[in-house]
Structure 1
Amino acid sequence: MTKKSTKAAAKTASKAAPAKTAKAAGESNKVAKTQLVDMVAEKTGLTKKQSEEAVSTMLDAIVAAVKEGKSVGLPGLGTLSVRATAARTGVRPGTSEKIQIPAGKKLAFKAATTLKGSL
């Protein structure tokens, strides 16, 4: 085969068999709350309604603690905490004008070493 014919064959082959992605296969990299509820129900033997209440209560407790400024430790997963950000000077992208960015807070997550080691 010549170089031209191998290039043409490669082009037609790539058009005929498009690459499969996770989304194309119907899978997602995100686990939704309903999926968590299903997992809890399956592992604990609770009903889906009881599992949904348990998951919702846990998430509400975590959110409430973080809003109060507390750190939330989840063994085997990591720690959620609130960190203060300092006031700083930034640059507006369109005009290159210098602007003052006020101090604020951000949510931080530090993964547990056991989780990091198992990835």
Structure 2
Amino acid sequence: MLLTMTKKSTKAPAKKTAAAAAPAPAPKAAPAKKVPGESNKVAKTQLVELVADKTGLTKKQSEEAVSAMLDVVVDAIKSGKSVGLPGLGTMSVKETAARTGVKPGTSEKIQIPAGKKVAFKVASTLKGNL
């Protein structure tokens, strides 16, 4: 029968440095827990639930209606049409002109090509009620 013995380290323990001897910083307060439904954004699922509650449709029917409405709006915007949403505002496509810009960090002048962007104009009834 063979017995093997391991050699113990004769190294001295590491000395504590000033940084290690300093007290640990106080832990930061935990961020406030987000309660579902209290964010500043209404997600699609929440929108579907709100439509279902307001109309009496099932959630599946409401999801189909909301998805269909969003698809129609996106298709209209893609084709260059403006979309009026009564009481909310108007979404339209605006042309942007070509311009010279500055590349961050290098200050190099670059040419930004012309393009398109989606613009939204808030309805005056909504703007007055904010």
**Local SS of the residue matching 1:91:** strand
> Take 2:61 and 2:82, find their aligned partners in 1: how far apart are those partners?
27
SS of the equivalent of 1:76 reads coil
Pick from 91, 99, 122 the counterpart of residue 80 of structure 1. Answer: 91
Correspondences of 1:1-119 after superposition (within 5 Å): 24-26=33-35, 27-119=38-130
For 2:109 and 2:49, the matched residues in 1 are separated by 50
SS of 2:90's equivalent in the other structure is strand
Displacement, 1:25?
4.4
User: 2-side partners of 1:95 and 1:49: how far apart?
Assistant: 52
TM-score normalised over the length of structure 2 = 0.73
TM-score for the superposition, normalised by structure 1: 0.80
- Structure 1 runs of 4+ aligned residues shifted over 6 Å read none
Which whole-Å CA distance do the structure 2 matches of 1:112 and 1:56 have between them?
23
Query: What do residues 47-71 of structure 1 show as CA deviations (whole Å, max 9, x unaligned)?
Result: 0000000000000000000000000
Query: What are the superposed Cα offsets for residues 2-53 of structure 1, whole Å, 9 maximum, x if unpaired?
Result: xxxxxxxxxxxxxxxx7x86xx342210000000100110010000000000
Please, which runs of 5 or more residues in structure 1 have no aligned partner?
1-17
Question: For 1:84-118, what per-residue CA distance to the aligned partner results, in whole angstroms no more than 9, with x for missing partners?
Answer: 00000000111111000000000110000000011
What is the CA–CA distance in structure 1 between the aligned matches of 2:71 and 2:85, rounded to whole Å?
14
Percent of aligned pairs sharing the same letter: 77
In the alignment of these two chains, the number of paired residues is 101
* CA RMSD, 1 decimal: 1.7
Aligned counterparts of 1:45 and 1:36: Cα–Cα separation in 2 = 14
Q: Secondary structure at the match of 2:101?
A: strand
